[in-house]
Structure 1
């Protein structure tokens, strides 16, 4: 059924009158459920839990800019206020819940969306979809069979509302006299796929005079940028630029960078408070200020979050900035599973924020994503003398969640993930009581297509971490709800001799991993350069402590390198440290978290989130004919049955460590048995 989802004040009274004080503390002042589909998933029934329903709508929030919990939000003091002196925002909300909440497990699975999109499908072995509706969207129903309520909320103001994405509307900020705020903004511009003659800016230009901006171009990262004269480009309008003469195409894969005076920043950091207040409302409130009942009122006992990539970085900063405590100082999220966040934040709580950006080997180095602190415990920045840690705020408020930080090899190579569990000089740190760290050995940034090279030199890496993510989520749930100790961290460490330190490169944006130190074999037809992202200390100016980048582009400190490292590899080139899933423990190829671009696309520069799949030769004779040092499939397993047994052995070992569930062991064995390996 569709239509408003409101309950009368009579029903509200029957549920228990909500005091004015608690209403105000919830900070979601109104929810509006605009559509209900009951049942959803075409009526599919999930065991004893039963059928699910889908609720879509809006949540309207208010923030007190004077409240200590909100004062950290950049520019909130400059945001417009309503008659009550509060700052308003509105966000999309989306809930999948058991029709009969009593049959559920009374736990929330909050998926923090990625640029507005939903990525929970892997948990259910389905496509998921951005508007999950059909039985196929539910897949095997991993989450639903266990009775989780699943929810999403808009938090990213840069997310498009198209294609059922979720977004948030936050206010534009202005100077105290009402005049527009202006300041430096930056655009990293690369067109790899489709040539374009125009480029859209994140913020409107404060002036259309190109002499007050600087546009540069270079073909490779190591090249010195060439300034394009002010007469060589123009503003089409305040949000668009083009090269001159009109119709000139931006060069394929060339790096253009624009520093320009922008205006009308938004209070983007409100996106942190929005998630805090939404989960707090679902968990603790009976109704909003207008009598609209919380659809989960009285049900939730535990709350969990799951995030992939961009929102994992968001949750890193969510913790650092203290947003896991609501305005009544109650814990918001009990357990966090972060996948692919790297050693990074998101750059959301800054003036002229662009949270859709992410830094990798070649891209977006000058955005405020990788800024101290990186690790969870308290450490000292050797370059600035500042101290900090991601658990400082929650330790003070006693609201720390239990956290699994899970990263692929790609995050170690391109996003300095080792800084999550070391100090700034690369020294191992003890795990905090509430955090564990995991490397998925040899995996790229999400499973790739083994038949597709994309912009890269080799086929992409298909290693799929979803089975392990499911098992770890169950372990996280047990840790939170039962106190069951979690699996121990599995990451490269200097203390165990499994870490290889990155060397700073002459070009400040990148470093290099020495081939001999790594143990990388020389494989015919495969280029090795050791390219790695190196995390540098960037100085955005004295105002940056308030989230204002007064100095753009940033300067580099005198001792700019934060030490980071990757895992050593074995004789095949497969990583030694971390969780070695069956494709690594019983391999048919070398799988890497790094890759290089092919000719025409910035050759031999980093291929960003991609990894490599470099197959072994079937026989000894074939590998010797091309001087491949890696053993052939025949030398490793002798027969197809030998390969299947090796996969089964690897899978069962992982299950003993609580990294795989039985149903996924069965799937690994079935896939190996159905393969053509040595047939």
Structure 2
């Protein structure tokens, strides 16, 4: 069944047609969610048009060079996905927009379920946290690089062309690293404009601090205009080595349309009533408040969505009322650039030299002493009176590997007061996501299992209350210079990273644990004179001699656990040291950063064991004389977090139950 619905709005950019290609009513095997009842699932495509001369759209890089239809508009098409109460009158009239990650859906954890990329069964609905409260969930494609497989949400945007119809060419760059010894080829993000190897450079180094070596032309080749391989044929890329490929590419897509697509989709769902043919919007006259939820890459997307002014639709109406960003750091996303690669993310050993960590980082309007530019994430929404309420929530990993402190400081690392509409939270001691405490992966220590989802749920309820009822949110919880909880990162001359000195952090010397202080430093990179227009006319080859921004992490206590931020029971009532940083083990680039991983370094159980190991941290038995003492300490910890609105009562009880069932 295909339902074609074209939506009528004035002549501004808009969604002009939606095809609902499948309807599952009810979904989740008919499971009812409290008084809200059953849900239905709509899947399909949305077709949009943009006026490239309209000021809100004109800032999209290369939109003026995109092909136009007979109406002079630039067209695009994206996948859409809606989960709604069958009876909308029983819902809460609020839209929960999940900004998908590289096409994938990540809200499963929020609902305490396994989720999946097309949740259909009752089990995949989990406890149905959002559905029990009556939210309508919606997602749309926005990332032109998202792979189309596995029910991913994708978007199709046009290729920019020169005025005479010829291909646009320009510099492009690929950071290549495989953590295996079997990869034989590499696919480029864009086709090469020429297969002349003298117009490209491939380098390699084993560790980030090594000098790159140029691989001669007889050591690699193009197998076609989008693939390279090493020679002789059958040679694999060295495991965990860093290869960098500079070449001339062609046919850039107008990737920044992905911002307008989300703007216009939410605006339609929120404000449109009928289409050009009189058919109704399936959510017509229902949505009273709109929220977004983002994890990692899409949180960086939402940062730039705000900076570029896309929270105002073309009729100057607010698009999103509330934003919960998780794991975005102080970064944007390399989307609104020629030859964009939005799937990239920079960490202290990953995807360097892309335009991700660029000013502005913070929300207030500031003047950057390194560039002389004046900007802020709030500048455009303040001018249009469309600013949302925002929670920026980050793990410790974002402070160590994505310079998250720049969200709430100026470019020189000085604390800024919170904007009226923004709050900042660090989940102390957490890695990027939830790790497996029984696996080291490519890292030296076990990964960090701290799960932030209970706090994300509690904070989302606080955000809802702030938006809909004006209830003041919990105060920000982050490291600050003013509270002496900040340990400054020090740039390392000639290196692409910095370091936090051990003494400044307060890190204890632990047996079998290497500490280097490796931390990401944001440098002012040179992408050429047209960078402000989204045109990268050159790519830097290193950060040597480049000025840097000041960033910091949270200091730690005598156990190595962070003192700032929201201290969940694994930090407040510890049985281990948990960190947001980790280092690679020998066969994967020893002592380089282990990307998004953290560490789980258990305490010894007894005093005798810790003395034998020469471990300065108190043992579990020295901390908690009995099992009941440990359970009571957890109970007091979660009670405080509930009072502070960082945990919901039901999630607090789950911590207590886990403590009771533990062997501590």
Normalising by structure 1, report the TM-score. 0.97
1:275-674 to structure 2, matched below 5 A, reads 275-553=262-540, 556=543, 560-674=547-661
Residue 55 in 1 paired to residue 42 in 2? Answer: yes
Tell me, in whole angstroms, the C-alpha distance in 1 between the residues paired with 2:525 and 2:32. Answer: 53
1:130-169 to structure 2, matched below 5 A, reads 130-169=117-156
Compute the displacement of 1:289 (Å): 3.1
Compute the displacement of 1:23 (Å): 4.3
1:359-392 CA distance string (max 9 Å, x none):
0011111100001000000111111111110000
Matched position secondary structure for 1:217: strand
> Given that residues 383 and 557 in structure 1 are in contact (C-alpha distance below 8 angstroms), is that contact kept between their aligned partners in structure 2?
no
Compute the displacement of 1:207 (Å): 0.4
Residue 215 in 1 paired to residue 213 in 2? Answer: no
> Given that residues 361 and 608 in structure 1 are in contact (C-alpha distance below 8 angstroms), is that contact kept between their aligned partners in structure 2?
yes
> Given that residues 539 and 554 in structure 1 are in contact (C-alpha distance below 8 angstroms), is that contact kept between their aligned partners in structure 2?
no
2:116 to 105, 121, 129: 129
> Given that residues 243 and 249 in structure 1 are in contact (C-alpha distance below 8 angstroms), is that contact kept between their aligned partners in structure 2?
yes
> Given that residues 376 and 420 in structure 1 are in contact (C-alpha distance below 8 angstroms), is that contact kept between their aligned partners in structure 2?
yes
Compute the displacement of 1:292 (Å): 4.0
Tell me, in whole angstroms, the C-alpha distance in 2 between the residues paired with 1:574 and 1:307. Answer: 26
Tell me, in whole angstroms, the C-alpha distance in 1 between the residues paired with 2:471 and 2:34. Answer: 26
> Given that residues 26 and 281 in structure 1 are in contact (C-alpha distance below 8 angstroms), is that contact kept between their aligned partners in structure 2?
no
> Given that residues 494 and 543 in structure 2 are in contact (C-alpha distance below 8 angstroms), is that contact kept between their aligned partners in structure 1?
no
1:78-117 to structure 2, matched below 5 A, reads 78-117=65-104
Matched position secondary structure for 1:163: coil
1:137-196 CA distance string (max 9 Å, x none):
110110000000000000000001100000000000001111100000000000103621
Compute the displacement of 1:286 (Å): 1.2
Tell me, in whole angstroms, the C-alpha distance in 1 between the residues paired with 2:515 and 2:226. Answer: 41
Compute the displacement of 1:6 (Å): 5.2
Tell me, in whole angstroms, the C-alpha distance in 1 between the residues paired with 2:663 and 2:50. Answer: 59
**Paired residue for 1:4?**
2
Compute the displacement of 1:5 (Å): 3.1
> Given that residues 406 and 440 in structure 1 are in contact (C-alpha distance below 8 angstroms), is that contact kept between their aligned partners in structure 2?
yes
> Given that residues 44 and 51 in structure 1 are in contact (C-alpha distance below 8 angstroms), is that contact kept between their aligned partners in structure 2?
yes
> Given that residues 26 and 280 in structure 1 are in contact (C-alpha distance below 8 angstroms), is that contact kept between their aligned partners in structure 2?
no
501-510 or 446-455: bigger deviation? 501-510
> Given that residues 48 and 76 in structure 2 are in contact (C-alpha distance below 8 angstroms), is that contact kept between their aligned partners in structure 1?
yes
Matched position secondary structure for 1:164: coil
Compute the displacement of 1:293 (Å): 2.5
> Given that residues 399 and 553 in structure 2 are in contact (C-alpha distance below 8 angstroms), is that contact kept between their aligned partners in structure 1?
yes
1:102-138 CA distance string (max 9 Å, x none):
0000000000000000000111110111001000111
Tell me, in whole angstroms, the C-alpha distance in 1 between the residues paired with 2:306 and 2:544. Answer: 27
Matched position secondary structure for 1:485: coil
Matched position secondary structure for 1:175: coil
Compute the displacement of 1:290 (Å): 4.3
> Given that residues 402 and 480 in structure 1 are in contact (C-alpha distance below 8 angstroms), is that contact kept between their aligned partners in structure 2?
yes
> Given that residues 109 and 304 in structure 1 are in contact (C-alpha distance below 8 angstroms), is that contact kept between their aligned partners in structure 2?
yes
Cα pair distance change 1:190/1:557, threshold 3 Å = closer
Compute the displacement of 1:557 (Å): 8.6
Tell me, in whole angstroms, the C-alpha distance in 2 between the residues paired with 1:5 and 1:55. Answer: 11
> Given that residues 539 and 557 in structure 1 are in contact (C-alpha distance below 8 angstroms), is that contact kept between their aligned partners in structure 2?
no
User: How large is the RMSD of aligned CA atoms in angstroms?
Assistant: 1.2
218-227 or 547-556: bigger deviation? 547-556
Matched position secondary structure for 1:278: helix
Tell me, in whole angstroms, the C-alpha distance in 1 between the residues paired with 2:547 and 2:211. Answer: 20
Matched position secondary structure for 1:574: coil
Matched position secondary structure for 2:586: coil
Matched position secondary structure for 2:232: coil
Residue 42 in 1 paired to residue 40 in 2? Answer: no
> Given that residues 29 and 290 in structure 1 are in contact (C-alpha distance below 8 angstroms), is that contact kept between their aligned partners in structure 2?
no
Matched position secondary structure for 1:143: helix
Cα pair distance change 1:535/1:30, threshold 3 Å = same
> Given that residues 525 and 546 in structure 2 are in contact (C-alpha distance below 8 angstroms), is that contact kept between their aligned partners in structure 1?
no
1:56-98 CA distance string (max 9 Å, x none):
0000000000101101100000000000000000000000000
Tell me, in whole angstroms, the C-alpha distance in 2 between the residues paired with 1:84 and 1:557. Answer: 49
Normalising by structure 2, report the TM-score. 0.99
Structure 2: 5+ residue stretches without partners: none
Compute the displacement of 1:230 (Å): 1.5
1:504-532 CA distance string (max 9 Å, x none):
11233110100011000001010000000
Q: How many residues align?
A: 664
Residue 181 in 1 paired to residue 154 in 2? Answer: no
**Paired residue for 1:14?**
none
Tell me, in whole angstroms, the C-alpha distance in 2 between the residues paired with 1:203 and 1:291. Answer: 42
Compute the displacement of 1:556 (Å): 4.8
Matched position secondary structure for 2:323: strand
**Paired residue for 2:235?**
248
1:268-323 CA distance string (max 9 Å, x none):
00000000000000000013334442110110000000000000000000000000
1:60-75 to structure 2, matched below 5 A, reads 60-75=47-62
Residue 225 in 1 paired to residue 223 in 2? Answer: no
Tell me, in whole angstroms, the C-alpha distance in 1 between the residues paired with 2:42 and 2:260. Answer: 22
Matched position secondary structure for 1:299: coil
Matched position secondary structure for 1:77: helix
Tell me, in whole angstroms, the C-alpha distance in 1 between the residues paired with 2:601 and 2:494. Answer: 29
